[in-house]
Structure 1
Amino acid sequence: MTKDIAAAASMRLPNAVPAGASAPLRTLPPILTVVVPTYNERQNLRELVNRLHVALDGVNWEMVFVDDDSPDGTSALAKSLSRRDSRIRCLRRVGRRGLSGACIEGILSSAAPYVAVIDGDLQHDETLLPKMLTELREDRCEIVVGSRFVEGGAADAGFNATRQVISKLGRRFAQAVLRTAVKDTMSGFFMLRREVVEDAAPQLCPEGFKILADILASSPETTRVKELGYEFRQRHAGVSKFDAKVALDFLGLIVSKLTRGVVPVSFVSFLLVGGVGVVLHLAALKVALLAGLTFFAAQTLATLVAMACNFVVNNLTTYRNARLRGWAWLRGLAMFCGICSLSALANIGVATWLFEHDQTWWAAGLAGIVMGATWNYAVSARLVWRK
C-alpha cells in the first residue's frame, strides 16, 4: 500500500494558490474504486456503505453507485450519502438500463488503478475485497474473480434450486464457447486493473447483465485471471432482478462474441421471440381451421396473433429499456404490424426470386425468413422503440 500511496501522491497537481486564497485540502486520489450497479436497491445502500467502511479500513477507496433511474429513489439516497462522505459518488442514468452498461460507465468514470464491481444486494462478501486487492497489487494477476465454484466458495444460500440449475448450465456453456478456464464466468463480483477495461472498452457490449463474461471474451488470452472462493449470501432486501431478459441477453452476448460483434445482442433476443411467434402462429392457424374458417381467413388471423404476440414479448424483453406504455403502446403495436406486413411481402419476393433461379425450396425459404427477420429488427428498432 505504501508504494501505491506514494505513486498517487506524485500524481497530484501543484498547489498554485492565488494570493489571499486559502490552501486546498491535500487529499490523495483513491487506490480502489468500488462500482455498484443499482436498480431499486434503496433499502440496501446504507448497510452496504457501512460494511465497506469496515472491510476497507486502511485502504484509500471510493464508491460509485451507477443507478438506472430507480423509481424507489435509490439515486437520491446515494447522493444524500455522498454529501456526508466525499468517497461516495452517484451516476444516475436516464433512458438507459442494464447491469453491463452501468458497470462499464462506472469503471470508465474512475481514475483509480484498481476497480471492483459488487452488487448492491449484499449477496457478495465484501470482506474478500482486501484480499482481491492484494492479489492485484502484488502483480499475481490482472483480474480477480469472486468465485462461488472454487475451494472456499458456495452458492447454496443465495440460489434456489431453479437458479442453481440455470447458473450451472450457463457457466458450462460460457466456458465451452468462450474457451476459458474460469469456473464462475457468471460472477458479478470481481476486481481488476482499470486498464483491462480501458483497453477492452470498444469491444464491450453495454446490453445485458453478465459483464465479466464479456470482459473475459474481449481481453487478450494472456490476461491472467485468479479466482478466490466466497460464500454467496441471501439477498439482504428487495427483489431479485433475474428473469427471462437476463437469460436472453446472456445468449445474445455469446452469439455476439462468436460473431465478433457482427450480430447485436438484441437481434438474438428478437429472433428467439420470433421463434415463439412462429409456434403461436401455427397453433392459432390450427385452431382457426378447426373452428371452420377458410384457410385465407385462418392464415390472416394467425398472422395477426403472431405479430401481436411478438410485439408484446419484445416490448417486455428485447426492448424493456425503451418499453412502450399507454397510447405509445397502441401506436407501437400498429406500427409494428405494418412493418411486419411489409417484411412479409419482401420475404415472399426474395424467396420466390431465389426459387425461380435455383429451385432449392428450403434455401429460398430460409433466405426469405432471414430477409424478413432482418427487416423487422432493423426498422422496428428504429421506428417503434427508437433504438
Structure 2
Amino acid sequence: MAALLLAVGVLVAAFVGYNIGGSSTGVAFGPAVGSRVVSKFGAAALMAVFALLGGWTIGRNVIDTMGGEIVPSSEFTLPASVAVLFFVGVALLVSNRYGVPASTSMTAVGSIAGLGAATGTLRMATMGRIVSAWVVAPVLAFWVCAVVGRYAYPYLDAFFRLDVPEDGLLVWRDTGRVSYPVGTNDDATPRQFLAAFLVVAIGCYMAFSAGASNAANAVAPLVGGGFLSASVGVLLAGAAIALGAFTIARRTLDTVGNDLTDLPLLAALIVEVVSASLITVLSVLGIPASLAVSATMCIVGLGWGRATRTVRANDALSGEGRAPMAMGSLAAERADDPRDVPRIGEEDPEELAAADLFDPAAVGRVVILWVLTPSVAAAASFALFTLAGILG
C-alpha cells in the first residue's frame, strides 16, 4: 500500500512539474520565439537545461525551506505529502482552466501552512519571513522598473535600438515537427544579432530562476518526508519541467501567449532581468516566491514610470501636474539618438498614453486570484488535516 501511495505521490509531483514547464517556458522564451530567434524546440531544450541547473544549484535552498522549515520534516508523512501535492495540482488545473496564472509557490506554501496549523507545528517565524518577502518583492519590482522607465528607458531604447527583422535573423527550414536554421538573413545587422544574443541569454537566465524557485513546488514534501533524496527530487522535477516544455508549452509559444511578448523587445528584456533577479535572490535565501507576480509588477512599474516622464517631480509634488496612468507609453516612438530624447516634463502626454499595455480589470482579477488561491489552499489543507486528526 505504501509503495502504491508513493507512486501516486511521484505521479502528482511529476504532474506539477509538467505544468510548471508548460507555463514557465512561455514566460522565459516568449520574446525569443516571437522574434524568431529560436524555434519552439530550441526554447524547450534551453528551458530543460537551465531549469534543471537552477533546481540543482540554488533550488535546493527552497526545497530545504518547504521540506522542513515551515513545518518539521516529521509532519510530511506519505499521505500528508501526497495531499499537499494534490492541492498544488488542483490549483494548476484551475488556473489552466480559467487562463489565470496561479502561483504554484504560494499555493504550495499555503498547503503546507494549512498542514502546520492543523497539527500545531507551523513555524510562524519562517512563515513571517516568507510572507514578508511576498509583500516586499512585488513592491520592489514595481519601483525598480518605475525608476528605469522614468529615467533610463527612452535613452536605452534610443541607444540600443533592440529589434530584429520582421522575417527573423535566421532562415529556418521546417521539417514538420522540428525547425532548424539553415542560414542567416542577409538584411540583419550586427546590432540585431547582439539583440538576439541578449534575448536568448536572458531567456536562459529566466529559465534558471524558474527552476530554482519552482523545483521545490513539485518535490519538497516528498523530499522533506525522506521518501526521495534532494538530488532525485530535483532530477524528477527537472524531467517533468522538460516534458512540459517540449509538449504543452508549444501551444503557449505558438500564440506567444504571455504578457512579456506584448512589450517592445527592450521592455521585455528589462522585465525579465529584474523579475528573474528578484526570484534568484529569494531562492538563494530559501524563500519560495512567484515569478509571475514579480514579472507583472515589473510590467506595470516600467510602463507607469515611462508614462510619468510628462510631469516633473516638483510639479507633481506641488499639484501643478499629474502623471498619466496609461501603460501604452512603452510603445511610444523612440528617438533616433539618445541626445534627442525629450527631457522629463517635455514629452507629449497624448503620445505616451496612446494605447493601453494591459487591461486594468484583468490585472485586478489576476491579483485577486493570486491572493485567493494560496488562501483557499491553506484553508482546504487545514480542514483536511484537522479532519484527519479527528478521525485518526
TM-score per shorter chain, which class?
Answer: under 0.3
Q: Choose 1 or 2 for highest CA Rg.
A: 1
Relative to the length of structure 1, the TM-score reads 0.26
Greater RCO, CA 8 A, separation 6+: 2
* TM-score, with structure 2 as normaliser: 0.26
- Structure with higher helix content: 2
- The structure whose residues are more often strand, as a share, is 1
